[in-house]
Each structure stands twice: as C-alpha cells, then as structure tokens.
Amino acid sequence: MDNQDYRTTYARHDEKLKNIYSTLNRMEKQLKDLNGSVGRHEINIAKMQVWGGVALITFPVIVNTIMRLM
C-alpha cells in the first residue's frame, strides 16, 4: 500500500467515526429526554400514592361522621 491508499483508508475511517459519534450523540440526547420523562412519571406516581393514602384515611372518617349525624 502506498501513501494514497493509506490516506483514503484513513479518510473513510474518519467519516465512519464521525457518523458513529453523531449517532451516539443523538442517542444520548434521546436517553436524556427519556430519563427526564421517567423522573416526572415517578413524581406523579408518588403524588397519586400520597393522595390515595390521604383518601384512605379521610373518607372513612367522613362517612362515619355523616352516618352518626343521621
């Protein structure tokens, strides 16, 4: 192989690496967006669990109070 062959091979590998790195950057961006979505969903689930716990305690108390008043 002469110098020109090495240069063309190097140029092809360089282009392939650029494509790989750009693909990786896009994937990392998508993963970052997904991780943010997962975090928001976990917060929403925790909120619903808190509201469920509050409802579990207060509804029987309210129903009991109404039944005693009747």
- pLDDT value, residue 47: 93
The residues, any chain, with a CB within 8 Å of residue 1's CB and separated by 6 or more, are 9
Report if pTM > 0.75.
Answer: no
**Could you tell me the two tokens for 47?**
């909120």
Which mean pLDDT values do the consecutive 10-residue runs of the chain (70 residues) have? 84 92 92 83 92 94 92
Q: Rounded to an integer, what distance in angstroms lies between the CA atom of residue 34 and that of residue 31? A: 5
d(CA 42, CA 21): 31
